[in-house]
A and B are shown apart, each in its own frame.
Chain A
Amino acid sequence: MYNLNKVFDEFFNQEVVRSFPLDVVETKEGYKVIAELAGVTKENLNISYENDYLVIEALKKLDDNQYLINERSSGKYKRYLFFKEIDEDGITAKLENGLLIIDLKRKESLKKRIVIA
């Protein structure tokens, strides 16, 4: 039984990048991203924030086997999320039970204090 996904990948001769479901929630400090990445380990995960974009990159590796049923797709998973005014040093991430949870802190707005003479 051949892997239909592989056939399409090879036909178009491009590296297929897949998506994954995620939720974005507004928090007191900023935002929380909850992404589903079952089977992905820390070593195969790359998270970065650049030019207002949070980039999540993951690699799912599946063993080469004779599958009776193969619904899971191996390969590259990548998503870009736009977040403005984020404190770059205030981004934390943890991987638990196949869920990637990223906490982003909003940049402290530079309040201008007007002194009354």
Chain B
Amino acid sequence: MYFMRNYNLLDEFHNMFNDAFSSKMLKTDIIEKENEYELNIEMPGVLKDNIELDFKESYLTISVKEEKKNEDLKYIRKERVSGSYSRSYYLDMADGENISAKLTDGILNIIIKKLKKLDTKRIISVE
């Protein structure tokens, strides 16, 4: 284990997953609407059970586990990349309690509602 500053046990977990962004996996589109964010993430061939989605402090993190196959396939051509991948997205003002996700045709569609801006103006009376 090479020297890492501020190393903690959680890093060990993340090291199991490759960074999706640098390897061009989990191609994502993010649309920002007035009241919500919509994400469409490509993950062809991935099953629901191998997807982990979590939200913490405005960061949405997706982790996709590789399906280990015992097949002994005779490849004539191999272009598809396999492996476990993880990726995080920063979504300002996103409401972690209001997230829905659906997997269709190899695309994970996620909708996250935005937190309502608090009307913080208060008038203080002077005694």
Contacts and interface: CB of A to CB of B under 8 A. Distances in A.
B40 to A, nearest CB: 7
B32 interface: yes
Contacts, number: 87
Contacts of B46: 97
A40 interface: yes
Interface stretch (A10-18, A23-31, A47-55, A108-116): A23-31
B44 interface: yes
B80 A23 contact: yes
27 contacts: A23-B79, A23-B80, A24-B75, A25-B74, A25-B76, A26-B74, A27-B74, A36-B44, A36-B45, A36-B80, A38-B42, A65-B31, A67-B31, A68-B31, A68-B32, A69-B28, A69-B29, A70-B29, A70-B30, A71-B27, A71-B28, A72-B29, A72-B40, A97-B45, A97-B105, A98-B42, A98-B45
Interface of B: 27-32, 37, 40, 42-47, 73-81, 103, 105-107
Given A23-B79, A72-B42, A97-B44, 13 more contacts: A22-B80, A27-B74, A31-B76, A36-B45, A38-B106, A39-B107, A67-B29, A68-B32, A72-B40, A95-B105, A97-B45, A97-B106, A99-B45
